[in-house]
């Protein structure tokens, strides 16, 4: 037959088992939370790796583009200088032709003066022929000068196009150098993931569960001992 002490012990064991089960459940739940946090941490690390890879590839592409544009700038700059040389060459030809035109004009003036002073019909006829040749030559020089001037205009226009393109390339390089990472914000940073998942909350929940269960078990155990001592019932292995 069970006495009061046996009944109290049995009740205590049942209540203790219940509380221990609750405690174990709380610990398991906390462990699950920690496992989930570990998984999130690994996901964060994986995301960080992907982010770094994207940024690295993007930076590599940007560096390649900068190199290509800088090479184009050198090519265009060379063309600009080459066209400038041609313009100066054509300008020299124009000045040379202009000098010839002026020289021929002086010869024509001399021929006209000699024709005016010449009374010999044969010599005068020869001077008229010389004048015709000089005038024809002068007209050819004028046409040559017109063509050279047109060539110069085209070269200047082409040079202006090259200069404008050169400026576009310079602006492109500046933009690439000044631009921040193009994939910034495309994938959330790991710290954003941790913040959004409230990582510390799981750890706090585990601590609260363990500490709360410990306090409950300790409180029950103290009350049991107090009641058991009140009975002052002797039991084998126990001194009242």
- State yes or no: pLDDT of 165 exceeds 90: yes
- State yes or no: pLDDT of 57 exceeds 70: yes
Chain mean pLDDT for the chain? 73
| The CATH fold of domain 4-231 | 1.20.120
Residues ≥6 apart with Cβ < 8 Å to 109: none
In tens, the pLDDT along 81-112 reads 999 999 999 999 999 999 999 999 999 999 88
Distance between CA atoms of residues 182 and 222, nearest Å? 65
Residue 236 has a pLDDT of 45
- State yes or no: pLDDT of 215 exceeds 70: no
- State yes or no: pLDDT of 239 exceeds 50: no
- State yes or no: pLDDT of 154 exceeds 90: yes
Per domain, the residue ranges of the chain are 4-231
The full 3-state SS of 64-120, as one line of letters, equals: HHHHHHHHHHHHHHHHHHHHHHHHHHHHHHHHHHHHHHHHHHHHHHHHHHHHHHCCC
Question: CA 191, 196, 199: angle at the middle one, nearest 5?
Answer: 75
Residue 208 has a pLDDT of 47
In tens, the pLDDT along 166-194 reads 999 999 999 888 875 443 444 444 444 44
Residue 58 has a pLDDT of 79
Which range, 4-8, 77-81, 173-177, is most confident?
77-81
- State yes or no: pLDDT of 141 exceeds 70: yes
> Rounded to two decimals, what is the model's pTM?
0.51
Which range, 17-21, 25-29, 59-63, is most confident?
59-63
């Amino acid at each position: 037959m069970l006495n009061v002490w046996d009944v109290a012990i049995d009740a205590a064991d049942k209540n203790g088992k219940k509380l221990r089960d609750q405690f174990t459940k709380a610990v398991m739940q906390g462990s699950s939370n920690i496992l989930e946090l570990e998984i999130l941490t690994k996901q964060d690390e994986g995301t960080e790796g992907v982010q770094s890879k994207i940024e690295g590839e993007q930076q590599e592409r940007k560096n390649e583009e900068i190199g290509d544009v800088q090479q184009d700038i050198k090519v265009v700059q060379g063309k600009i200088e080459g066209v400038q040389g041609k313009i100066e060459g054509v300008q020299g030809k124009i000045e040379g032709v202009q000098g010839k035109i002026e020289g021929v004009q002086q010869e024509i003036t001399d021929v006209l003066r000699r024709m005016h002073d010449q009374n010999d019909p044969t010599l005068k006829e020869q001077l008229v022929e010389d004048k015709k040749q000089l005038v024809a030559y002068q007209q050819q020089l004028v046409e040559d000068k017109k063509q050279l001037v047109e060539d110069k205009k085209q070269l200047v226009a082409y040079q202006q196009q090259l200069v404008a393109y050169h400026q576009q390339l310079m602006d492109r390089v500046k933009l690439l150098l000044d631009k921040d990472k193009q994939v910034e914000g495309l994938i959330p940073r790991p710290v954003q993931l941790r913040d959004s998942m409230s990582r510390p909350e799981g750890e706090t929940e585990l601590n609260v569960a363990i500490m709360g269960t410990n306090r409950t078990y300790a409180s029950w155990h103290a009350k049991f001992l107090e009641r058991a001592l009140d009975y002052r019932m002797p039991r084998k292995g126990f001194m009242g």
